[in-house]
Chain A
Amino acid sequence: MEVAEVTTKDVLDVRGLVRRYGDLTAVDGVSFHIRAGETYGLLGPNGAGKTTIISMVAGLIPANEGSVRVAGLDMTPSETEAKRIIGLVPQELAIYPDLTARENLKFFGRLQGLTGKDLTRRTNEVLELIGLSDRAGDLTKKYSGGMKRRLNIGIGLLHRPALLILDEPTVGVDPQSRNSILESVERLSVEGMAVLYTTHYMEEAERLCDRIAIIDEGRFQAEGTRDQLITLTGGVDRINLRGGGSTSRAAEALSALPAVQHVDSDGAGLMLTVSDGPTALAGIVTGAGDAGMSVTSVEIVRPDLESVFLHLTGKALRD
């Protein structure tokens, strides 16, 4: 897929990124860019190549082909200037269990170049932001999973990076902490930070991301805003009819309706692909009854990113 227009406000510019492991091409020609204040999502199932892309963007591993530029600076494993601009929140917890939250923050802050009062002030601010001020002096090995996750994110934010990279930050997090993390990311975006966010949770991508790339088997399948991606499915809804009786006659009758594009049948009922499901629903239920089907339940499924992924790859996002 072609890269979108690049502007001078781009914080991240990725072009033609390729990464191979032996015969396996984990990332195959990926291009995208992120502007300041924009949250960009990489949505795909586990093993799609999201973390490999993150690793190249953060300068952890080199790309076999292509380039990564952060605020105009080349990013490779040996570059240090570009790394001052990014903040990485790895998928795995990356904190020291035998240090306190404050010690963890100060250590990574020093490595990012913060010193003296500036370091102390930012440490306190971040502790406040992630809600750990009252536990700042405790060893992190005594923290709950959610607290560790919040600290994991806080370390990435400490030096106010222009680009924050979050790799599946809510995996294994309780709902309360998850919501807290998502709120934090929303706030950072509003404050002007560019955010690269990977997830396999459709809801998170829909809630947070201004633009989303759908990735599978190392390739971008599609990229755009949520609404742009939805249109890729043709904008159709799905209606699931559950019940008994003469489902085969009902399927035949419903196929003739103008709004119905496709009808599938399984042992439990019918699954219809329709345009404008809410409007067509009454006629469909009536038609099914007239054809001899006793309808026990009806479900309208509006198109979402899951549908887009299914439409593009032929498999579910969580497969």
Chain B
Amino acid sequence: MYGLWTMVANDLRQRIRDKSVFIFSLIVPLALMGVLSLVFGGLGDDTVDLQPATVVASADDADQLGAALLGAVESLEIMDVTIKRAPAADVRDEMQASGAELGIIIPEEFSDAVLSGQAASVQLVQGSDATLESGVLISVVQGAVDQIAAGTVTAAAGGIAELPHQDLATLAQQAAAGPPLLTLTEGQAAAEQLSPRGTLVAGQAGLFLMFTVGFGVLGLLAEREQGTLARLRSMPVTAGTVITAKACTGFILGVAATTVLLTAGSRLFNVSFGSPLVVAALILCVATAATSLTFVVARLVRTAEQANVAQSILAMVLGIAGGAFFPVQGTGFAATLLDLNPIGAFIRGLGISAGGGTLNDVMGPVAVMLAFAAVGLVISRFLPDWGAQA
């Protein structure tokens, strides 16, 4: 172990000293993130700030359900709504004068109609511009009307059942005022996707991780080319220790660079990846997967130039397929292949983490990355060592 860590420390010292690791692992990806963010402008604005809205409403103040409907609109938490009252005939003029987003015309005796099971119509008038705010307001009114409609249906059902008139009114009121039978709760599912900016940061971190871990195998080839590998092999350390040291170097650089990239990216692009513990686990797993690939590359290439080319090709293929630049989807076998991509799994894992996922929730992506690492190691064991034959 002493020999192993001596070699790792020596490698890290040289990598830090020649500064290329900083350029390729940190400066380039951060710059690329910035450029891509500008190119795809507006990426990742996850939150939408709704502007204050004005609603012109016509309703009888004494109408209980009409007042409830307007109350629902006025009490919206996601935007400030001001309601202006106007007679039904003046609603359009008032809208034009005040620039209101929506007009609501509630018919007279609206509550009586609902409670007696008769048809009642609420008229909505949209402003001259179909804004996001007016769309939200229409949705809210629609939801409230749907609930009130339940009262009408209930009253109609009571009429068919020949219930007394007073009982019909009570039932209808309860149905209209009661909670809906089916509710849709908005929440964050465990398999939630990252925001566009989050995907960009995670994807670039994953992509450049492939380059960063490559410094390990490049180090091995550099040793071969500068003659120090022969000297190392004449020392009392095994060949496996030498290779493991290079893998450890790549792994450590990969983990460090990815951690810095995600941290810096999340600050610069205002995205969150969730629990640091889960993110750390994902980084360790994706770095393991990427490092295993370097063992395969080390077997196949004979020079540092070849290693550079091979590493670049693998990084770009896995990065693009994993969604480093834009989301990639497939069906059937292609979808399976995409799912097995460690960078894709890494981004999925970060998506789950960002959505509040725990370690248990990211077990799927973790399994994919570790399985990839295992397969990479097994393949490298059976490949002929072309580099050693050079």
Contacts of A88 in B (CB 8 A): 230-231, 234
Chain A minimum-CB-distance residue to B231? A94
CB distance from B296 to the nearest CB of A (A): 22
Count of chain A residues near B, Cβ 8 A:
29
Which of A74-82, A126-134, A228-236, A256-264 contacts the other chain? Answer: A74-82
CB distance from B238 to the nearest CB of A (A): 7
Contact of B230 among A83, A92, A107 (CB under 8 A): A92
Indicate whether A86 reaches chain B with its CB closer than 8 angstroms: yes
How far does the alpha carbon of A113 sit from the alpha carbon of B237 in the complex, in Å? 10
Chain A minimum-CB-distance residue to B16? A98
Chain B minimum-CB-distance residue to A79? B236
A81 engages B236 (CB within 8 Å): yes
Q: How large is the interface on B (under 10, 10 to 19, 20 to 34, 35 or more residues)?
A: 20 to 34
B230 engages A96 (CB within 8 Å): no
How far does the alpha carbon of A155 sit from the alpha carbon of B230 in the complex, in Å? 13
Indicate whether B387 reaches chain A with its CB closer than 8 angstroms: no
B228 engages A112 (CB within 8 Å): no
A60 engages B236 (CB within 8 Å): no
Contacts of A155 in B (CB 8 A): 231
How far does the alpha carbon of A86 sit from the alpha carbon of B226 in the complex, in Å? 21
B224-261 toward A: CB 8 Å interface, digit per residue (1/0)? 00111011111111110000000000000000000000
How far does the alpha carbon of A206 sit from the alpha carbon of B2 in the complex, in Å? 42
What DSSP secondary structure best describes chain B's contact surface? helix
**CB within 8 Å of A: which of B258-279?**
none
A98-B18, A99-B13 known; A108-B230 Cβ under 8 A: no
Contacts of B10 in A (CB 8 A): 96, 99, 107
Indicate whether B14 reaches chain A with its CB closer than 8 angstroms: yes
Contacts of A80 in B (CB 8 A): 236-238
B14 engages A113 (CB within 8 Å): no
A108 engages B226 (CB within 8 Å): no
A110 engages B18 (CB within 8 Å): no
Indicate whether B7 reaches chain A with its CB closer than 8 angstroms: yes
Q: Interface centre among A96, A99, A103, by most B CB within 10 Å?
A: A96
How far does the alpha carbon of A94 sit from the alpha carbon of B238 in the complex, in Å? 18
Indicate whether A69 reaches chain B with its CB closer than 8 angstroms: no
A78 engages B238 (CB within 8 Å): yes
How far does the alpha carbon of A80 sit from the alpha carbon of B14 in the complex, in Å? 26
How far does the alpha carbon of A58 sit from the alpha carbon of B233 in the complex, in Å? 9
Chain A minimum-CB-distance residue to B14? A98
A98 engages B17 (CB within 8 Å): yes
CB distance from B224 to the nearest CB of A (A): 10
Indicate whether B3 reaches chain A with its CB closer than 8 angstroms: yes
B238 engages A90 (CB within 8 Å): no
Q: Interface centre among A59, A78, A98, A103, by most B CB within 10 Å?
A: A98
Contact of B236 among A93, A95, A96, A111 (CB under 8 A): A111
Indicate whether A97 reaches chain B with its CB closer than 8 angstroms: yes
Chain B minimum-CB-distance residue to A60? B233
How far does the alpha carbon of A105 sit from the alpha carbon of B265 in the complex, in Å? 41
CB distance from A258 to the nearest CB of B (A): 55
A77 engages B239 (CB within 8 Å): yes
A98-B17, A98-B18, A99-B13 known; A111-B227 Cβ under 8 A: no
Contacts of B3 in A (CB 8 A): 110-111
Chain A minimum-CB-distance residue to B388? A61
Contact of A58 among B18, B234, B237, B239 (CB under 8 A): B234
CB distance from A225 to the nearest CB of B (A): 29
Contacts of B236 in A (CB 8 A): 80-81, 83-84, 111-113
Indicate whether B336 reaches chain A with its CB closer than 8 angstroms: no
Contacts of B238 in A (CB 8 A): 78, 80
Indicate whether B183 reaches chain A with its CB closer than 8 angstroms: no
For the complex with contacts A81-B236, A94-B227, A112-B235, 8 further pairs of A-B residues with Cβ separation under 8 Å are: A58-B234, A59-B234, A88-B231, A90-B230, A96-B226, A97-B226, A99-B10, A99-B17
Q: State the 6 A-B residue pairs at the shortest beta-carbon distance, nearest first.
A: A92-B227, A94-B231, A88-B234, A80-B236, A94-B227, A83-B236
Return 23 A-B CB contacts under 8 Å, by A number.
A55-B230, A59-B233, A60-B230, A60-B233, A60-B234, A80-B238, A83-B234, A84-B236, A86-B234, A90-B230, A90-B231, A90-B234, A92-B226, A93-B226, A94-B231, A95-B226, A96-B228, A97-B226, A99-B13, A110-B3, A111-B7, A111-B235, A111-B236
